[in-house]
Amino acid sequence: MKVVLQRSKEASVTVDGEVTGQIQSGFVLLVGITHEDTEEDIRYIADKVVNLRVFEDADGKMNHSLLDVKGEILSISQFTLYGDCRKGRRPNFMEAAKPDHALPLYEYFNGVLEEKGVKVEKGVFGEMMDVKLTNDGPVTLILESK
């Protein structure tokens, strides 16, 4: 599993002109799932996301987690994170999980985040989406389960 995490001041996702998810302060997560991912990978990344200390304390140091600041998550499925661009000029997406494997794990991931007490807004799996965000910092991290 691979997640691009962006700390944001606000974010939204639109599908066919309709807002399907919107948050204030928190994280925008671009979520990629590969064939080998399991529920164990999902739980590992979910725990990492909610406990990463990337929000500033009173001294301006990154000492607070998403849970500490009561932040929100905008979760976007993103199979292109597994695009291999090493050969040729067209990405190879063979490492991205097929929808029948990826969708249940993506939904499980969002559920685990919610169980940890975080408000989770989502895009629409498999759809073309317009994502808008104000990156805070900017802070952008890449998390991988393996």
Q: Which residues are catalytic?
A: 78-80
d(C-alpha 113, C-alpha 120), whole Å: 7
Q: Which amino acid is at 126?
A: G
State the burial class of residue 59 (Cβ atoms within 10 Å of its Cβ: 0-12, 13-18, 19+). exposed
Q: How far does Cα 37 stand from its chain's mean position?
A: 15
Residue with tokens 């808008």: 132
